[in-house]
Amino acid sequence: MKEFDVAVIGGSAAGLTAAITAKRFYPEKTVLMVRKEKNVLIPCGIPYIYGTIGAIEKNLIPDEVLEKNGVELMVGEVTEINKSDKMLKTSGDSVKYDKLIIATGSDPVAPPIKGVDKKGVFMVKKEEDYLSKLLEEVNQSKDIIIIGGGFIGMEFADECKKNRDINISVIEALPHCLMLVFDEEFCKQALALKIERLF
């Protein structure tokens, strides 16, 4: 059984930041990151896979960043956490820890609308294989509908349009896209000035 001062479950933005921060503030402590993915995507870079960078491999966080900061990596899914014994189990290993950080991130929530489970309907998941399939579908599409006019929805719309002859529609429940970030006056002004190429 391996033992660490700090164990971090989750290898994306929050987990990576937590592990590196723990090591920087307490360099004498041993820090382990456990993640289930072989490779980790840069979450905020996901929309750019579909346009600017054009490939999933160009949007990965290199494991060298962990090595460079003295964080040990274990790839495997955590199957059990025993808080009283301060121990976690993966499919292949057991780890004893002093402090535990759970930073497993989020999953997209499917809107409660009919047809969301049909073929050709995708959500933005942080999984390489899933996003590869989505990239294939985008490359073969002539019409795409994006539900959600927040930052991710608008970035996806912009990126999917790059280098493609494609029609993109954005559906947003609020009166304007990006309305949770900009006030209504700004949104109306943007529409009036025709600088809303994504709206």
Chain-centre distance for alpha carbon 97: 27
Domain boundaries, the chain: 2-102, 141-192
pLDDT tens column, 35-54? 999 999 998 999 999 999 99
Residue showing tokens 């780890």: 95
Is the domain covering 141-192 a CATH 2.40.340.10 domain? Answer: no
Confidence of residue 94 (pLDDT cuts 50, 70, 90): very high
Catalytically active residues are 44
The pLDDT confidence band at residue 191, using thresholds 50, 70 and 90, is low
For the segment 86-111, the average pLDDT, to the nearest whole number, is: 92
The CATH class, in words, for 2-102 is: alpha beta
Tokens representing 146? 């994006």
Q: How does strand 60-61 pair with strand 2-9?
A: unpaired
Please tell me if the domain spanning 2-102 has the same topology as the one spanning 141-192.
yes
Cα–Cα dist 106/9, whole Å: 13
Distance between CA atoms of residues 173 and 115, nearest Å: 18
d(CA 58, CA 48): 10
